[in-house]
A and B are shown apart, each in its own frame.
Chain A
Amino acid sequence: MGLFNDLFSEDLIFLDTPFRDKYDFFDKVSNILLEKGLVKPSFQKAIVEREENYPTGLRTVPFHVAIPHTDPENIIHPFIAVIRPEETVEFSEMGMGNEKVEAKMMFVLGLNRGEGQTELLSQLIQLFNNSQVMEQLILENDKGNFIRLLKENIE
């Protein structure tokens, strides 16, 4: 599907990157996205602020994830970046309480309400509950294979 290839790419997959905490994570990832011309300079502040107000940690099984995102006006070109940190990164849990999750994988959603994005996002979220594939993604060290695994299970 064209949309998958438009949004995901090997150079937006980061495996085993160390982060001190979620602020360090947002800082490092925002800089990369800015350098690649995918986001505006306003992106970093916007995504950190949004995360504070509307956290995106999800208490999924087999492991927690986070899906940080912000308003489309900060996006130049839509993307989905996937980051598997060296150590889990703490995020606040989406919605109801003041709980925290330990995210083993973060998906930065650079979406702008474009066509087909909701459907693809649904597929991605469905994938979080697929223990078998998620366990494979945790272990896969080759970016090409990693992205292939995602593609097979999202399209």
Chain B
Amino acid sequence: MKKIIVACGSGVATSQTVASKIDKLLKERNIRATVEAVDIKSLDTHIKTSAVYVAITKPQKEYPIPVVNGIAFLTGIGMEEELNKIIKAVQ
């Protein structure tokens, strides 16, 4: 099963909230994937084993996997579009 990672600045609030939201949306659409909120400090390690990175902070560099805008899952604006990118990456 493919992995989706979400990272933010302090791991106390936003990444978990976004991860939880994505998890719910994927389940509703019967799409299987693991969604994990990770510490931004350990991001590079996780990138190696993930299919897509949902960013809440500005990406500091280019990544070998697709990067999706996580803020859309907080504001609801552009959420469908970002969700579709995630779905494409995990299928």
Chain A contact residues, CB within 8 Å of chain B = 50, 53-54, 56, 58-61, 67, 69-72, 94-97, 109, 111-113, 117-119, 121-122, 125, 128-129
Given A59-B77, A71-B10, A96-B17 contact (CB < 8 Å) = no
Write out the residue numbers on chain A whose beta carbons fall within 8 Å of the beta carbon of B69: 95-96
Chain B interface residue number, banded: 20 to 34
Write out the residue numbers on chain A whose beta carbons fall within 8 Å of the beta carbon of B14: 56, 67, 94
Contact A119 B71 (CB under 8 A): no
* Among B12, B55, B58, B76, contact of A112 (Cβ-Cβ < 8 Å): B12
Chain B contact residues, CB within 8 Å of chain A = 8-10, 12-14, 16-17, 20-21, 55-58, 69-71, 74-77
Nearest B residue (CB) for A123? B17
* Among A71, A96, A122, contact of B12 (Cβ-Cβ < 8 Å): A71
Task: Give the distance in Å from the alpha carbon of A125 to the alpha carbon of B55 in the complex.
Answer: 17
Given contacts A60-B77, A94-B56, 14 further A-B contacts (CB under 8 A): A50-B10, A54-B57, A58-B71, A58-B75, A70-B10, A72-B12, A94-B74, A95-B55, A95-B58, A109-B12, A118-B13, A118-B20, A122-B20, A125-B74
Given A54-B57, A95-B70, A96-B58, A129-B76 contact (CB < 8 Å) = yes
* Among A94, A109, A118, contact of B71 (Cβ-Cβ < 8 Å): A94
Write out the residue numbers on chain A whose beta carbons fall within 8 Å of the beta carbon of B21: 122
A selection of 11 A-B contacts at a CB cut-off of 8 Å is A50-B9, A54-B57, A58-B71, A69-B10, A69-B13, A70-B12, A94-B74, A96-B69, A118-B17, A121-B16, A122-B21
* Among B8, B13, B57, contact of A111 (Cβ-Cβ < 8 Å): B13
Task: Give the distance in Å from the alpha carbon of A117 to the alpha carbon of B11 in the complex.
Answer: 12
Write out the residue numbers on chain A whose beta carbons fall within 8 Å of the beta carbon of B17: 118, 121-122, 125
* Among B16, B58, B70, contact of A118 (Cβ-Cβ < 8 Å): B16
Task: Give the distance in Å from the alpha carbon of A85 to the alpha carbon of B22 in the complex.
Answer: 32
Task: Give the distance in Å from the alpha carbon of A129 to the alpha carbon of B69 in the complex.
Answer: 18
**Closest 6 A-B residue pairs measured CB to CB?**
A54-B9, A118-B16, A129-B76, A95-B71, A60-B75, A121-B17
